[in-house]
Amino acid sequence: RHEEGRFRIIAPTIRTLRQLTRFRSVDEVLDHASRQTTVFVSCQRAGWLRGKVERFSEDELPYGELELVTPDGSIEHTLDWQSERVVPLLRNVHRLTAPNPGRMTGPGTNTYLVGTPGDWTVIDPGPDDHAHIERLAAFVGDGLKAIVCTHAHPDHAPGAAPLQQRTGVRILGRPSGPDFNPAWTFRPDETLEDGARLTVGDSTLRVLHTPGHAEHHICLLLEEDGLLFSGDHILSGSTTVVDPPDGDMRAYVRSLERLAAEPFDYILPAHGHVIARAKTEIARLIAHRMAREAKVVDALERSGGGTLDELVVLAYDDVDPILHPVAKRSLTAHLLKLRDEHRATLDDRSARWQPA
């Protein structure tokens, strides 16, 4: 009756009832409660979604964005994904999502506009989509100072050239390496070295070289506000694909560990909502990768070895089979990491991996 609008229930009760719908019996509820490591004690946060006020708990994706944008709890922020309007997140941070939603891009690529009128930097201009570029150019006017690409995958960097043609500003980033897809070769006008600082209005962006998803990948730390623009190194609601040979699982985990030591509280990913409790999320991602690695090792040991097609079924049995072709890329990255650590071997003739 509540879902039909015929019976009013207060928000904490709604949250509890919705959580209970995940369980089939009282025994399942009690078992979950006995193993629960985190108990949420904060109030839900509310925003507008599909024309209605919706409330979200700490374990739901929009919560972090609402915490950042409306810290006083006011109900002002709209959460619907759209590509027509620039969304203000902070005084000096705005977002325009490209119209390229999909299985690999989620709601689309987030282009961030950092700075103040007359002094803007664009981070990840996205695909070469005319309407998206026109909206970016209209927003910054003649005040764009730089275009920064976190990496050169086709949903992030192709928009840089047409935006440069419109504005005349320089493209910044790191050049792609020899193992990167040659069709996406990237040569910025200026190479950003690790630790370099970019002044944007009254803010400072510090460059962090974070190889793993791509060898030339960078994140950008907005120092005064404690925000990390994570590109594809950290995503909201999904895990990053690590695709060898340019992608490297050992480097990816090392980069996560490096980020865990940096001073920021929020993550602004290239796909999805803002993420709060940044260090908790990074710890979760590292634990997830190590848990997946353990499943890969178990698959090798239980099967006695196998091809990628055979191992992906065992090591990614919790993933929709439709995603197994993509999962095989990260599986390869895990196996190469294990080989480098002398924990797995590859027979090149049969393409079979075996435990070392």
104-115 pLDDT tens trace: 999 999 999 999
Question: What is the per-residue burial (b if ≥16 Cβ within 10 Å, else e) of 280-293?
Answer: ebbeebbeebeebb
Residue 8: partners with Cβ closer than 8 Å, 6 or more residues away:
2
Tell me 322's DSSP state. G
In this prediction, residues 325-350 reach a mean pLDDT of 96
Q: How far apart are CA 257 and CA 291, in angstroms?
A: 16
Tell me 323's DSSP state. G
Q: What is the pLDDT of residue 34?
A: 86
Q: What is this structure's pTM?
A: 0.89
Neighbours of 33 (CB within 10 A): 10
User: pLDDT band for position 40 (50/70/90)?
Assistant: low
Place of tokens 């915490």: 67
Tell me 212's DSSP state. S
Beta strands in the chain (DSSP E): 45-49, 52-56, 87-90, 93-97, 110-116, 119-123, 144-148, 170-173, 190-191, 197-200, 203-209, 218-222, 227-231, 266-269, 344-347, 352-355
pLDDT greater than 80 at residue 237: yes
Q: How far apart are CA 177 and CA 103, in angstroms?
A: 26
pLDDT greater than 70 at residue 229: yes
% of the chain beyond a pLDDT of 90: 87
Q: What is the pLDDT of residue 193?
A: 98
- Strands 93-97 vs 344-347: parallel, antiparallel or unpaired: unpaired
- Per the CB < 8 A criterion, the answer to whether 213 and 151 are in contact is yes
Residue 354 DSSP SS3:
strand
Question: Which of 144, 89, 55 minimizes the C-alpha distance to 269?
Answer: 89
Average pLDDT, the chain: 94
pLDDT in tens, 172-218: 999 999 999 999 999 999 999 999 999 998 999 999 999 999 999 99
DSSP letters for 107-159? T-PEEEEEEETTEEEEE---S--HHHHHHHHHHHTT-EEEEE-S---TTTSTT
The one-letter amino acid at 51: G
- Per the CB < 8 A criterion, the answer to whether 313 and 323 are in contact is no
SS3 content of the chain, % helix, strand, coil (to 5): 35, 20, 45
pLDDT greater than 80 at residue 4: no
pLDDT in tens, 257-286: 999 999 999 999 999 999 999 999 999 999
Domains in the chain with CATH codes: 81-276 (3.60.15.10), 289-355 (1.10.10)
pLDDT greater than 90 at residue 325: yes
Cβ-in-10-Å burial (0-12, 13-18, 19+) of 338 comes to buried
Q: What is the pLDDT of residue 88?
A: 97
- Strands 227-231 vs 52-56: parallel, antiparallel or unpaired: unpaired
Strands ordered across the beta sheet of 93-97? 87-90, 93-97, 110-116, 119-123, 144-148, 170-173, 190-191
